[in-house]
Structure 1
Amino acid sequence: MSRPHWRLILNGKSAGNDALRDAVHALRERGVQLEVRVTWEDGDAERHVAEAIEHGVDTIIAAGGDGTLSEVAQTLAHRDEDAATLPSLGLVPLGTANDFASAAGIPDDPLQALALIEHAAARPVDLLDIDADGKHWWCANVASGGFGTEVTVETDEGLKKMLGGLAYLVTGISRLGRIDPIQARLQAPGFSWEGGFIALGIGNGRQAGGGQVLCPDALVDDGLLDITVIPDLSGEVGATFAALVKGGKQGALEQVATRMQAAWVQIDAPQPITLNLDGEPVQARRFRIACVPARIRMHLPADSALLAATRADAALQPG
C-alpha cells in the first residue's frame, strides 16, 4: 500500500505559523508525503491545484480562513473532471474568520485538523454556483448580504441566547441607529419575496462574518440552499419584533425572518447590491445562485453538524 500523498496550500499571511510547521513535520514522520505550497497573489491557488493534480496528489489541504477554503474549492469545482476522480479536500483553519470550520466542527489546532484528514473518509459535499451579472463564482460556505456584509459587531452572549443566532443585528442597530434596507426581489422554485431587507444569507454552511449564524439549519450534502431574509425592522414587522422582544420571546429575530430551502434562487435589485462570497465582495444587480450537489469530496468529522447523516442520527435518538 502506497503512503498518502498530500499537498497543503497555505495562505501567505500564515506562512510563519509555527504550530502548522510542527504539525506538518509530525505527519511526515507518520509516513504522509506532505508538500507545502504558499499563495501570495491571485492565480496561485489555481496553479498549485493544477500542479497537485498533475503530480497525482490524493488530498489537497486548504490552510487559511474561509476565503482560502473557497478559493481552493473553486479551483477544484470548475475543472472538467468528476468529483470522484479529483483529489479530496481538507481544511486547516488559520484565518481570522473560520466560519465554515467552526460550524463543521473542524479543530483549530493544526495537528488535530491534519489528523482528522488522515482518519476521516472524504464525503461528497455541495458548492454554491453563482452568476453575478454574467460573471461566474463558486462559494463553499455562505453568500451574505445587507447589514452583515458591512458591519461586524460584538454581541453579548446573553442577548444571543435570548434572541437567537441573529442577535448581532439588534446590537448593531442599537449602536449605529437606523439601517437603510436594501431593495430586492428573490425568486426560487415555489417562492417569491420582494421588499427591503437588512440581512440576507444563502447558505451551504451556516454562519458568516465571524460567527453570524444566518442559516442555522444548513447542510453541506443535501443538494439545497438555505435562504434567510431579515426584512426591514419597521412598520408591522418592527412592531411584531418589538412585541416579541418585550415579551422575552426566545428567537425573536428568527420569528420575523423568512426562511426557505431551494435548489436555486435569483436575486434582482434596482440598484447594484453587494454579496459577500466567503470574504469576497461581489457587486451586481442580478445574482443567480444554484446548489451543485456533491461537487467535491471533503474530509469532515463523522459527527459534523453540517452533514445530513448527523441530523438523521440525532432524529433517531430517544427523547
Structure 2
Amino acid sequence: MRQFTAIVNPSAGAAGSAAALLQVARLLREAGAELHTEYSRSLDHARDLARQAGERDRIVLAVGGDGIAGGIGGALSGTGHVLGLVPAGRGNDFARALHLPADPAELARILLHNAPRAVDTIEVESAVHPRTAVLGSVYAGVDAVANRHANRTRLLRGAASYYAGGLRAVATWTPASYRVTVDGEEHLHRGYTVVVANSPYYGSGRMIAPAARVDDGLLDVVMIRAAPRRLFFALMRELTSGSHVRRPEVTVLRGREIRVEADRPVPYGADGEVDAVLPVTARALPGALHVLC
C-alpha cells in the first residue's frame, strides 16, 4: 500500500486546503494507505519537505493551488520521486491540465491505484531564479501584474479574482517592447505579454495556449501584440475557449528554449508566483516529473 506525505501551506488558503485534504485523507486511510501531513512555513520550506519525503520513497501530495503545486513539482523535477495533487487553490490550472477530478472519491482512487505518468517541467533561469523548475507557465507582462492583484485580493475567489485583477492591470498597462528568442531565432514583439506555456491553462482556467501539452517536450509561446484596450478586454473573454489564438494580434510559436527580454523591467511570474523581472530563459525538461493523474 502506498505511503503519502501531504504538504500544506497554512498561510495560503488554509481553510480550503485543510478541508480538501481531510476528505481525501479519510478515503486514503480507509483504503489502508499511510498518510502523514507536514505544514510548511514558506514555499522554500515546502520544497525541502518534498525532497525529504521523496528520498524516503513516499508519494508527495501538494495540497493547495498552483503556487505550492509548482513549487513542490519543481523540487521533485528530475528526481524520479512521485507527485500527487490535491487541488485546493484559487486557480488549480496544472491539475486541470492533468484532468484531475474535483470529486474526493475519484481523486483518492487515482492516488491509490494509478501508475505515475511522466510529464514535462520548465527550467526557469534568471537573476532571481538560478535554474528553478516549475510546472505550468512563465508569463511576462500585464498578466503578471494581474496575477499580483489577484493574489492580494481577499474579496474574490477563483476566476473572478483573476478577471478583476486583469481589468485593473490592463487599465494602467503601457505596451512593452520584447525580444523573444525561440531556439536561437529572434522575434521582436511590442505588446501586452509573452507567455511560455507547458500547460494550456493559467489564471484559473483561462486557456492561454490551447495546443500546449504537458508531455510533448515543447513549450508554446503566446505573444499578444499592442492593441486598443477595448480589443484586449474582448480577448480576455475569449481566453475561456482559446479562440483568441485566431486573432491577428496573437502569435503562437513553439520551441524547447525561449529567452524573453524587454526594454524596461517587465515583471514575470511562474505558476502563480510573481517576484521577478525580465530577462528570463525557459527550457523544456521532457518527462522530468512523475505524477499521479
Q: How does 1:214-293 map to 2 (within 5 A)?
A: 214-233=208-227, 251=243, 254-256=246-248, 257-293=250-286
CA 1:253–1:295: 2 relative to 1, 3 Å: closer
Residue matched to 1:74: 74
Tell me the amino acid that sits aligned with residue 271 of structure 1.
R
Tell me the amino acid that sits aligned with residue 29 of structure 1.
E
1:17-37: CA deviation from partner (whole Å, max 9, x where unpaired): 334213212211211112111
Q: Take 2:202 and 2:245, find their aligned partners in 1: how far apart are those partners?
A: 17
Q: Take 2:252 and 2:19, find their aligned partners in 1: how far apart are those partners?
A: 42
Q: Secondary structure at the match of 1:219?
A: coil
Residue matched to 2:38: 37
CA 1:147–1:50: 2 relative to 1, 3 Å: closer
Pair 1:208 & 2:202 matched: yes
Length-normalised TM-score, structure 1: 0.74
Q: Secondary structure at the match of 1:100?
A: helix
Does the 8 Å CA contact 1:182/1:198 hold for their aligned counterparts? yes
CA drift of 1:190 comes to: 6.2
Any unmatched runs of 5+ in structure 1? 155-167, 301-319
CA drift of 1:53 comes to: 2.9
1:1-27: CA deviation from partner (whole Å, max 9, x where unpaired): xx2111111221455433421321221
Q: Take 1:113 and 1:142, find their aligned partners in 2: how far apart are those partners?
A: 24
Q: Take 1:19 and 1:231, find their aligned partners in 2: how far apart are those partners?
A: 39
Q: Take 1:267 and 1:19, find their aligned partners in 2: how far apart are those partners?
A: 37
Residue matched to 1:309: none
1:152-193: CA deviation from partner (whole Å, max 9, x where unpaired): 699xxxxxxxxxxxxx79x949x9657411211001126432
Does the 8 Å CA contact 2:9/2:46 hold for their aligned counterparts? no
CA 1:72–1:127: 2 relative to 1, 3 Å: same
Q: 2:144 aligns with which of 127, 145, 149?
A: 149
1:77-121: CA deviation from partner (whole Å, max 9, x where unpaired): 2xxxx54xx321111100111111223211223443232222321
Residue matched to 2:291: 298
Any unmatched runs of 5+ in structure 2? 151-162
Does the 8 Å CA contact 1:272/1:283 hold for their aligned counterparts? no
CA drift of 1:42 comes to: 4.3
Larger radius of gyration, structure 1 or 2? Answer: 1
Q: Take 2:244 and 2:203, find their aligned partners in 1: how far apart are those partners?
A: 21
* RMSD of equivalent CA atoms: 2.9
Q: How does 1:157-172 map to 2 (within 5 A)?
A: 172=167
Length-normalised TM-score, structure 2: 0.80
Residue matched to 1:140: 135
CA 1:233–1:125: 2 relative to 1, 3 Å: same
Tell me the amino acid that sits aligned with residue 139 of structure 2.
S
Tell me the amino acid that sits aligned with residue 274 of structure 1.
P
1:216-274: CA deviation from partner (whole Å, max 9, x where unpaired): 1111111100110001115xxx8xx99xx9xxxx9466322110110111112222221
Does the 8 Å CA contact 1:63/1:94 hold for their aligned counterparts? yes
CA 1:199–1:42: 2 relative to 1, 3 Å: closer
Q: Take 2:55 and 2:282, find their aligned partners in 1: how far apart are those partners?
A: 31
Aligned length: 265
Q: Take 1:54 and 1:267, find their aligned partners in 2: how far apart are those partners?
A: 35
Tell me the amino acid that sits aligned with residue 43 of structure 1.
D
Q: Take 2:112 and 2:62, find their aligned partners in 1: how far apart are those partners?
A: 14
Pair 1:114 & 2:114 matched: no
Residue matched to 1:92: 86
Residue matched to 1:103: 97
Q: Secondary structure at the match of 1:272?
A: coil
Q: Take 1:110 and 1:125, find their aligned partners in 2: how far apart are those partners?
A: 23
Does the 8 Å CA contact 2:256/2:284 hold for their aligned counterparts? yes
Does the 8 Å CA contact 1:144/1:208 hold for their aligned counterparts? no
Q: Secondary structure at the match of 1:291?
A: strand
Range 16-25 or range 284-293, more displaced: 16-25
Tell me the amino acid that sits aligned with residue 255 of structure 1.
R
